[in-house]
A and B are shown apart, each in its own frame.
Chain A
Amino acid sequence: MADKRFLDAIHDGLYEEMARDASIVLLGEDVGKKGGVFGVSEGLYEAFGEARVIDTPLAESCIVGVAIGMSVNGLRPVAEIQFADFIHPAFDQILSEAARLRFRSRNDFGCPIVIRTPYGGGVHGALYHSQSIEAFYAHIPGLKVVVPYTPADAKGLLVAAIRDPDPVLFLEHKKMYRSIRGEVPESEFTVPIGPAVVRRPGRDLSIFAYGLMTHEALGAAGQLQQEGIEVEIVDVRTLRPLDTKTILESVARTNRALIVHEDNRFAGFGAEIAATIAEEGFRYLDAPPTRLCGPDVPAVPFSQPFEDWFMISAEKIVHAARAVVAY
């Protein structure tokens, strides 16, 4: 095991996969000589050359559309969208093309692409460098959506995504790049897309989270423990396909559910988890499935007090958890 930052784990996953398989190419804005605006692809241009590490024009639909064509003709492209906030021009290519190619051709064509993109707030990114976008994409049949929390998961899930025969949207919380560290196995490994994981067992309340929110929830669990409340933390990890089994099993143990995400609350991903629990786990419940989410303003406002107001912290989770337990 080696102690790695979140960012380094992703870098290593890319590097090792590209070294293993010459059909893997990386494309996006500034991914070449600069190594990406966050430094994720640092050194890959030097290691694998400009034909495989492609600085694209500033055009997101182009990045995804070209990646689709590459995948049809024998390459395994990993596309980087510089910020999730800028992925929307590629929505049509993702929704109408990548996610439908297999279904619409009845399995004649597949689309093995990975779209990596940094999302999330808490870094003074304001409206256009802080967004969470998962709800738009988790809605799409044919697409897989992955949001890792630990560095080991980031690497293992990324390798699994690269080897996956279907398109995968891989969301990296940008605040975690340099703030989250963890042990990463040194030998080759994958983490399967799909299964959620229980990060911390508990008997009083299940908290469902992903990405940075898992980190905040774990922080909250420590505080709550001092108050005698034992919280179970389920790191959902993969939003589509969703591991409803692990979610329901957790609720069966704790009888209470709090769903936490940074994205806006209304029609956010938490509604899917809450609805699943209500429909399939109603008999377990001692309290309504409850959501703690980003407020319903268009995006994270810039100034520090605004950002603090928007972002979900361990402290906010503690308050919400107490209320669910006291119900």
Chain B
Amino acid sequence: MSAKETTTRPSPGRDDRTRLGQEPTPDQMLEMYYYVCLARAVDERMWALQRSGKAAFVISGQGHEGAQVGTVYALDRDRDWLVPFYRSVAAVLMKGMPPAEIFLIQLGRDSDPSSGGRQMPGHYGHSRHKILSTSSPVATQLLHAAGIAYAAKVRGTGEVCLTELGEGSTSEGDFHEALNFASIHRLAVVFVVENNGYAISVPVSKQMAVPNVSARAAGYGIPGVTVDGSRVLQVYAAARQAVARARSGEGPTLLEVIVPRLTAHSSDDRQEKYRSTEELAHLPEHDPVRVFTAELRERGVLTPAKEQEIRAQIQLEVDEGTELAEAAPLPDPATATRYVYFEPDAGT
């Protein structure tokens, strides 16, 4: 692990059941706001690196930041698990992964802690942050989340496991198998479906016959909730309920968060081919950065001075992270055969 922590991390928010239902404090709102904006800035830098020829590929989380920050903020970030997917930029930042580590995988560097330059960008993971390594087949991770939660139950660790997926992943068999297993055993899993309306180019109307993913919760006897991903505090309130329910042994929740996909599927996609100009023009209305900024300004939580301070801090953190990653060495091909199996001398 060579990525240095570039900023002072706010302390993780422990899930305090006595506060359940209460609003977060202004400081907590600002902390969430910080991560929403940080994730956007990191994401924009990922695209800049790709457009300038330094990164081969981008899979973006723009539009998903409110959903991810609002849900992960409800976890005990030291104790609980995150099982992410490839758009989880904001989620992994919120869970403790510094921007530098995201740029290291983005640039395929040797010191990339997610994979040591072995995986495509977007495939985050690190045991230190209790973020499980990500693959590319969709929905496979939901069963891992169920298994992690089963182990937590048997071992009595009290951990909750939050896992994220897109609405397209709900068509996979593993989605059903994971919700079914987690419900049968009342496991401490929060399934967060970030519904951005598209699985690459296929609209949600061709993905499912019901209007909302959350409707499917009824088939498992668990709560299904749909919230607006641009309303970060509402996402957080719903996630806190889901986490509290999980922690107390009542079982999983299917939490659907409606988000806009602000970019193409990836840097290899041209979304103008399947999304109308009019649709694209309306996307900013649901942009969580924009909506959350307006909300916090209106509440008087986000003052112009505070906003400037946050933006400056983010700029610094993103610049430092980029510099560190760009300066980091590429992997040596001679190391490519390592760790196919356990190596006794390498430790774990």
Contact = CB atoms under 8 A, between A and B. Distances in A.
B118 A142 contact: no
Interface residues of A, number: 44
A214 to B, nearest CB: 25
A66 B140 contact: no
Interface string B74-97: 000000010100000000000000
A277 B157 CA distance: 52
Contact of A71 (B83, B147, B177): B147
Contacts of B339: 102-103, 106-107
Contacts, number: 145
B177 A59 contact: yes
A69 B151 contact: yes
Contacts of B181: 56-57, 59, 62, 66
Interface string B332-348: 00000011111100101
Contacts of A106: 115-116, 118, 338-339
Interface in A122-168: 141-142, 144, 164-166
A298 interface: no
A73 B341 contact: no
A96 B147 contact: no
B155 A61 contact: no
Nearest to A67: B147
B174 A65 contact: yes
B338 A96 contact: no
A190 to B, nearest CB: 15
Interface size class for chain B?
Answer: 35 or more
Contact of B125 (A103, A105, A144): A105
Contacts of A110: 342, 348
Given A69-B150, A72-B132, A101-B133, A109 B127 contact: yes
A61 B116 CA distance: 28
A89 B173 CA distance: 9
Nearest to B145: A69
B341 A104 contact: no
Nearest to A59: B177
B341 to A, nearest CB: 5
A104 B159 contact: no
A107 B174 contact: no
B123 interface: yes
B93 to A, nearest CB: 18
Contacts of B119: 104
A100 interface: yes
Contacts of B266: none
B100 interface: no
A83 B341 CA distance: 27
Nearest to A167: B341
Contacts of B144: 65-66, 68-69, 72, 97
A275 B179 CA distance: 45
Interface in B122-173: 123, 125-127, 132-133, 135-137, 140, 142-155, 157, 159, 173
A69 B147 contact: yes
B341 A166 contact: yes
Contacts of A89: 173
B132 A109 contact: yes
Contacts of A109: 125, 127, 132-133
B180 interface: yes
B165 to A, nearest CB: 13
A61 B340 CA distance: 22
Contacts of B83: 69
A314 to B, nearest CB: 36
A65 B177 contact: yes
A92 interface: yes
Nearest to B113: A108
Contacts of A142: 340-341
B305 to A, nearest CB: 41
Contacts of A104: 115, 118-119, 123, 133, 135
Interface string B235-264: 000000000000000000000000000000
A108 B126 CA distance: 7
A69 B177 contact: no
Contact of A73 (B126, B140, B159, B346): B159
A324 interface: no
Nearest to A73: B151
A93 B154 contact: no
Contacts of B145: 69
A70 B151 contact: yes
A61 B176 CA distance: 11
A112 to B, nearest CB: 9
Contacts of B140: 65, 92-93, 96-97
Interface in A25-46: 25
Report, nearest first, the 3 A-B pairs whose CB atoms are least far apart: A69-B147, A65-B143, A106-B116
